[in-house]
Amino acid sequence: MPAPRPAPDPEPSKGPSHEATEECGPRRRLVILGTCCMSLLIVSLDTTVLNVALPSIRKDLHTTVAGMQWTIDAYTLVIASLLMLAGSTADRIGRRRVFKTGLVVFTIGSALCSVAPSLELLVVFRMVQAVGGSMLNPVAMSIITNTFTEPRERARAIGIWGGVVGISMAAGPLIGGLLVETVGWRAIFLINVPVGITAFILTWRYVPESRAAKPRRPDPVGQLLVMATLGAVTYAIIEAPTAGWTSPLILSFAGAAALALTGLILYEPRRDEPLIDLRFFRSAPFSGATIIAVCAFGALGGFLFMNTLYLQNVRNLSPLEAGLYILPMAAPALVCAPLSGRLVGSYGARVPLLIAGTTLAASGLMFAVFEAETRLGLLIVGYMLFGVGFGMVNAPITNTAVSGMPLSQSGVAAAVASTSRQIGTTLGVAVIGAVLAAGAAGAATHRGGIGDEAFADASRPAWWIITGLGLSVLVVGALTSGEWARGTARRNAERLDPPAVPGSP
């Protein structure tokens, strides 16, 4: 039986992509969801797989802790900078078109990473990957929200989507460890190539084109200000332990970040169609979802980076053994992510957010107060608590971010949520890495890594940071998931997309 032909591009004047959605039966919707999840899988895998490979990359390319941070943050930083541009561009010229372009660029970038001869070129090729990755997740989420229009069905689809993050966390360390030990760290990038090609073919055959009825115009000034803000603050945090927190270089980048952020805040409200519509943040659930995303993914980025160094450089575990140690964290995330989606669909975002904040904070306390890393039983419990918290937090973030917005702005709203995740990961790696580097400065090293005592001393404030991030998820989740918060979302949606007057064209 021949594969269905893609739906024709909708006319911009016909409004949101309901005509594409109506043509998608249950079977085709599942294929679309699976294709979108494949894109999330390869983008998410590149973080968890790479973390396990960091010590091998450090040894092979003769880099430092800061160099390892850049292999992660160059990727997340570019994605964070371009996500909103990708979301608005997809709303304007076609989501399917942008999604296919992202798959091609990401696949090419992955192939280039696998042959990078130096750290500098690896960082550059990671940035190429990120350009493609920025076109995948927010656009895929917009495709999902336009395909699954019934709220309960959409929440469950988003739960499955969130479960893919759990799959990447569970499979990433094992796949990465196995590949690093048997083939080498370069193989971790090659696994993206067949997945990217398969997702491209499925997108070409099954995903219908869709556009927003009233897409935003390009905002190059806002885009440059976003990139300047994120780039400058990340550079300052990562390089400060080496250059000195009060050095002219770091102070210059910190000042540039502050100026760019101030310019962004002053410039965007003056535009009729800004890159970042600050009116979105009048919705308490949307603002809460943004803050929670930064905190939760900041905790995740710091957790993975810190534990990779601990397990391989301090405990002297092999990459595969380190991957097995991460399983007690990854497995609960895999189980809890779809469960969280069902809870959101049945009871709203409040319950999973409270569970997430409580367990993330408890995990941080296990290490900060009870030194869980010194005893295997406590270590496993701490990892499991973190996995439960992270598994619970992803679905309510996404659902809350897009559910209160008009369909015509779903791409931009999803992009803001995805941007918040990437900003959180970027800052988590930068801050936790800076804390570790500063704490271990001048201490004896252990086989080229951070020494046992220096790592233990440096990790304590890092675990307190993760505890604080968990508490922030708990408090913000409680404040922005009640009836008052839902009322602000309804009123804001009416302002953003007022109902048509009866009898009007």
CA-to-CA separations, 76 to 42, 231, 245, in angstroms, rounded: 14, 11, 23
Q: pLDDT in tens for each of the 505 residues of the chain?
A: 444 444 443 333 333 444 344 456 777 888 888 888 888 888 878 877 888 888 889 889 988 878 888 898 889 888 888 887 887 788 888 889 999 999 999 999 999 999 999 999 999 999 999 999 988 877 887 788 778 877 777 777 876 776 676 677 667 878 888 899 889 999 999 989 999 999 999 999 888 888 877 666 788 888 889 889 988 988 888 888 778 888 999 999 999 999 999 999 899 888 877 877 788 888 888 889 899 999 999 999 899 888 888 888 888 888 888 888 888 988 888 888 878 878 887 888 899 999 999 999 999 999 888 878 778 889 999 999 999 999 898 888 877 776 666 666 665 676 677 788 888 988 888 888 888 777 665 444 444 445 555 666 678 888 999 999 999 999 999 998 888 887 887 787 777 765 543 443 3
Q: Whose CA is closest to 480, among 281, 277, 345?
A: 281
How far apart are alpha carbons 16 and 205 in whole angstroms? Answer: 21
Q: How far apart are CA 335 and CA 325, in angstroms?
A: 17
CA 130 distance to own-chain centroid? 12
- Is pTM beyond 0.75? Reply is yes
Would you state the pLDDT for residue 426?
84
3-state secondary structure 230-269: HHHHHHHHHHHHHHCCCCHHHHHHHHHHHHHHHHHHHHHH
What pLDDT is attached to residue 18?
A: 40
- Residue 468 and residue 299: Cα distance in Å, rounded? 9
Least Cα distance to 166 among 300, 292, 50, 286 occurs for 300
| 3-state class percentages of the chain: helix first, strand second, coil last, to nearest 5 | 80, 0, 20
Q: Are 320 and 446 in contact (CB under 8 A)?
A: no
CB atoms within 10 A of CB 67: 18
Structure tokens at 215: 């897409």
Mapping DSSP to helix (H, G, I), strand (E, B) and coil, where does residue 449 land? strand
| Secondary element (H or E) of residue 445 | strand 445-446
| Residue 49: burial class (beta carbons within 10 Å; 0-12, 13-18, 19+) | buried
Within 10 angstroms of residue 448's Cβ, the number of other Cβ atoms is 10
Please check whether residue 250 is in contact with residue 236, taking contact to mean a CB–CB distance below 8 angstroms: yes
Distance CA 426, CA 444 (A): 28
Largest CA distance in the chain: 77
Nearest residue to 333 via CA among 368, 303, 308, 373: 303
DSSP state of 12: G
**Residue 330 neighbours by CB under 8 Å, 6+ apart:** 48, 166, 169, 170, 171, 172, 173, 387
**Is beta strand 445-446 parallel, antiparallel or unpaired with respect to 449-450?**
antiparallel
Structure tokens at 439: 């704490």
Of all helices (H) and strands (E), which one includes residue 450?
strand 449-450
Decide: 394 and 162 in contact? Cβ < 8 Å: yes
Closest listed residue to residue 457, CA positions, set 444, 440, 442:
440
The DSSP letter of residue 1 is -
